Structure 1
Amino acid sequence: MAGSTRVVVIGGGFAGVMAANRLTQRDDVAVTVVNPRAEFVVRLRLHQLVAGTHDAVVEYREVLADGVRLVVDSVTEIDAAGRSVTLAEGGVVAYDYLIYAVGSGSAEGLVPGAAEFAYPMATLEAARRVRAVIDGLPAGAGVTVVGAGPTGIETAAELAEQGHRVSLACGGALGAYLHPRARRAAAKSLARVGVRVIDGPGSKVTEVLRDGVRLGDGRTVPGAVTIWTAGFGVPDLAARSGLATDAVGRLLTDETLTSVNDERIVAAGDAVAPSGVPYRMSAYTAGCLGAHAADTVLRRMASLPPEPMTVFFGAMCVGLGHHAGIYQLAGRDDTAIGVYVGGRLGAKLKALTYKFAVKHLVNEAGKPGSYTWLGNNKRQQLLAEATPERAGADSA
């Protein structure tokens, strides 16, 4: 419409869609989402795609507000001075404000042999490749999952439930975020479905072989397929475009999620590092950051100062197959406490996270501005305590 403020959102994941939907509460905003896929990826279900129990996608018409323009393409460059983005398929899209929500993927340059013999699963395309490989395995063939964060644990459990012989190479503690009590419960649940957990000193994978992996203590774990879930990386779009980033490429912003280079660029999701100290990755975090990024833009449009972002992480949920899960409660500093919900009730709570992660987007599309979350007055204390090492560390 004539006189509209043009907002381009790069990335159509949880953060990007939440931001786009929230922006539609003003009818003088023209929102364009640029995303390389025509389907919305329910990323927290990718382990189920690998196991063949869910396709991990929904149609954008189900989650994106009416009136938001979807461009299926990739952005190759951000021209901050000219306020435009260049598309891979040709053409330029101009903006008045830009929301940078490009998401994350697997880390590159992992260990010897990983590029040749390991299968990442952090994107829809990668997870589909893994699914095809798993489908082609002979009966009894071993599968090695590398990485014992939520994705690794959930993938190992799902595959074991499908009857595969699964080894989980933790590279340290099983579920490092979990409280020791919850960790012991998770280990029992994994053993119950047949996952061989390899944790503790010496369990880090130092080489991926054609038929297995080699660990730091010299042991070799045989397997027909190695699935890589460890590590974290973000697209280099911000760095290539001359914007300030942290050591791994996340866009550096202030606490309002505004780029330190340009107040017309606001960021959300996995690829943002507010004050150099990123938030913990999750679909919940992405939704909160996306909503706040939109609020920052809307406040600037209204000539109001943007407010700092704050979010309280009350829990983290890890699936252990269809019949068990761990709902780990946390303190206000995002540190796990000794209280958790496990077993079948934990599995039911995990199932609810799948439902509500998408439902929050649908609700915001129907009633923009309605999404709310709890703030955390510990953020400033955490920033004061953060070390340079933590500020550049992987938040996965």
Structure 2
Amino acid sequence: MAEVILKNIKKVYPHQEPKKKKKGEPEKKTNLQITEEGVLAVDNFNLHIQDKEFIVLVGPSGCGKSTTLRMVAGLEEISGGELYIGGQLMNDVAPKDRDISMVFQNYALYPHMTVRENIAFPLKLRKMDKAEIDQRVEQAAEILDITEYLDRKPKALSGGQRQRVAIGRAIVREPKVLLMDEPLSNLDAKLRNQMRAELIKLRQRINTTFIYVTHDQTEAMTLGDRIVIMKDGVIQQIGTPQEVFNHPANLFVAGFIGMPQMNFYDAELVLEDGQYAVVLDGAKVTLPEEKQAKLKANGAAASPITLGVRPEHLILSGDESSMIHGTVDVSEMMGSAVHLHVSACGSDTIMIVPTTELESTSAFTIGSPIAFTFNGAMAHLFDRNTKKNLEWLEK
């Protein structure tokens, strides 16, 4: 079993040089918490990863995702909490004894070795039998479709081919856990798409647990069985890609997941005759029964809220009482849909309108007026102060 459990994991980077703050000196701003011990890079990280599960840690730069991965690998000391791999406490176990492999962002291949030698290197360190080494190298090369490159050196390979070699070197050891730290970030868009598909195929062919780090939400959504969204060293939400897309726990998750980004508005949640409705710029949309029930169960009160609506959930038709009026700033033809940038409600709104719904793709010119509304079933309501989703408050 390659089950991985992280319990209350914490990482503190000690202050390098304790400095006394001079009188009148302004405070240095940082999103990470500063304690007496140092900078708190990861705090109260709890995650139970099942055997053979593909977990993706995602978040903006500096959120602590790579630090967490490096603690699992043993490349960073754990400041607090417990790490278990396969039921064994690993806090003080050397990296080489954790039965893990890691794929780095920059490939980290030996330039003077051939592809075959690079892949075989970790097995030679284990003093494995040559016949067994050759068999494993050939098998890994076949899985990754790099058999024809085995006698080339890294400089003769493309970026995508080098990354396959790096993955081959990692899987040839048949590790319990395979760690990947932004392995596709150095590739161009086309190669990234291709390698994502290859990784999905790979996880079906090898029996290991994957922990994958990325800042790219597309990678997270397409690769992960579950994704862990982080911000400032703290987990914001854990769930399947569909769960975090449909039911973001807070404003940060809602804005981070989804492309183009969700639209946000200052709105009002009103309660009239026992029914919740959202009022935005004079337009009023009554929420459907499912949302009514969740809001009532959570005891949501009428109050100012942040309304979130994804671009694809804004619609051009509706009752006059629910219509919001704006002006088209930019119209982008994307083939199957038109992306409209609209000035409305005091902010920039992005709409995605399928071309099948338009009589003419040139219907919206710059400066033309537009009226739209939103699907109440697809609206997301966030507390203006706590930033939490009013429907999904923790009990």
Normalising to structure 1: TM-score of the pair?
Answer: 0.25
The structure carrying a bigger strand percent of its residues is 2
Normalising to structure 2: TM-score of the pair?
Answer: 0.25
Choose 1 or 2 for highest CA Rg.
2
Q: Work out which structure has the larger RCO, using CA pairs closer than 8 Å and 6 or more positions apart in sequence.
A: 1
